């Protein structure tokens, strides 16, 4: 496994091996912008609940036989049919999949995935023998008690799409650290997951076979943002009575009992 001295050299190597930057949540496709961000030369345009700014590369032209075979398998009708039957997916879908490398800074805050996504899977194939110890892994989360009403809203209001939420609204219940492990799920109201990379990508890179099944017949939905769920309690109104009125009320009260 090659270690690099500069991020520029790492990215050049990825490009030479057939990887390309792809549009991906929490990421830019501009190598120039990403390198400038790493050097602290510019700001970034990520989701407001995220601090990071990443870039994701997908292998578009695999050359090694094993990578070619795996690419063919993950795009095959056999694999697609198997998962659609397993997860009871009956609506038409299309596959988006590939071998991906995620560099330092990549972050997506907790979210359950949008309703257009029928299924997602992540297979860890990290090249480093020490990868399980690195801060590069997917978190699976649940809402803290005071925010659980959001998942109930998603559960019972299918005409509204789901959104990203702040990390501090959630708590991690598991991380997918094991190499050669795969997680497959059909997004729902309770499938919160997130990731925030903080590691030295010059020594190794977070690497996954990643894929989605997308519904082809999904309508456009309204999408409340996390800020729409920020319910603030109103301050308790104070009872203010002028002294003159208080005297009047008391006089009437006393005279009532005298009579």
Reported as half-sphere exposure (CB side, CA atoms, 13 A), residue 49 has a value of 18
- Tell me how far apart the alpha carbons of residues 250 and 74 are, in angstroms, rounded to a whole number: 83
Structure tokens, 39:
């050097």
Q: pLDDT value at position 234?
A: 61
Q: What is the DSSP letter of 93?
A: E
- Per-residue model confidence (pLDDT) at position 120: 98
* Residue 232: predicted pLDDT: 74
Helix (H) or strand (E) holding 241: none
The continuous run of DSSP H or E covering 123 comes out as: strand 117-124
The number of angstroms, rounded, from the C-alpha of 69 to the middle of its chain's C-alpha atoms is: 29
What are the backbone dihedrals phi and psi of residue 208, each rounded to the nearest 5 degrees, phi first?
Answer: -145, 150
Two tokens, residue 80: 């697609």
pLDDT of residue 53: 80
**What is residue 256's predicted lDDT score, i.e. its pLDDT?**
46
Residues contacting residue 40 through CB under 8 Å, at least 6 positions apart: none
Question: Quick one: pLDDT at residue 249?
Answer: 46
**Mind listing the pLDDT tens digit for each residue in 193-214?**
999 999 999 999 999 999 999 9
Q: What is the 3-state secondary structure (H, E, C) of 42-71?
A: CCCCCCCCCCCCECEEEECCCCCHHHHHHH
**Domain 7-225 top-level CATH class:** mainly beta
**CA–CA separation, 133 and 177 (whole Å):** 8
- Yes or no: say if 17 and 63 are a contact pair by the CB < 8 Å rule: yes
Q: Note the pLDDT of residue 50.
A: 72
The set of residues, in sequence order, having a beta carbon less than 8 Å from that of 90 and lying 6+ positions away, is: 84
Tell me the mean pLDDT per 10 residues along the chain, length 259: 89 96 92 91 63 89 93 96 98 97 96 98 96 97 97 97 97 97 98 96 97 95 94 61 49 50
CB atoms within 10 A of CB 224: 15
What does the domain layout of the chain look like in residue ranges?
7-225
The confidence score (pLDDT) of residue 189 equals 97
The pair of three-digit structure tokens given for residue 2, joined into one six-digit string: 């090659």
């Amino acid at each position: 496994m090659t270690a690099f001295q500069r991020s520029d050299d790492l990215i050049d190597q990825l490009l030479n091996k057939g990887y390309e930057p792809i549009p991906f949540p929490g990421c830019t496709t501009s190598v120039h912008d990403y390198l400038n961000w790493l050097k602290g030369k510019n700001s970034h345009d990520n989701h407001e609940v995220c601090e990071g700014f990443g870039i994701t590369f997908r292998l578009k032209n695999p050359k090694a036989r094993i990578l070619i075979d795996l690419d063919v398998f993950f795009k095959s009708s056999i694999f697609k049919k198997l998962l659609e039957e397993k997860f009871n997916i009956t609506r038409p879908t299309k596959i988006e999949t590939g071998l991906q490398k995620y560099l330092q800074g990549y972050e997506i805050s907790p979210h359950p995935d949008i309703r257009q996504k029928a299924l997602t899977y992540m297979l860890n194939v990290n090249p480093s023998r020490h990868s399980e110890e690195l801060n590069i892994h997917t978190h699976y989360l649940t809402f803290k008690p005071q925010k659980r009403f959001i998942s109930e809203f998603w559960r019972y209001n299918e005409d509204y799409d789901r959104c990203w939420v702040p990390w501090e609204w959630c708590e991690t219940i598991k991380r997918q650290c094991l190499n050669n492990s795969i997680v497959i799920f059909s997004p729902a109201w309770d499938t919160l997951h997130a990731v925030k990379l903080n590691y030295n990508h010059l020594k190794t890179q977070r690497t996954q076979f990643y894929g989605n099944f997308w519904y082809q017949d999904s309508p456009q939905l309204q999408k409340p943002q996390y800020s729409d769920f920020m319910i603030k309690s109103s301050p308790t109104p104070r009872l203010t009575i002028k002294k003159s009125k208080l005297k009047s009320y008391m006089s009437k009260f006393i005279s009532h009992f005298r009579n």
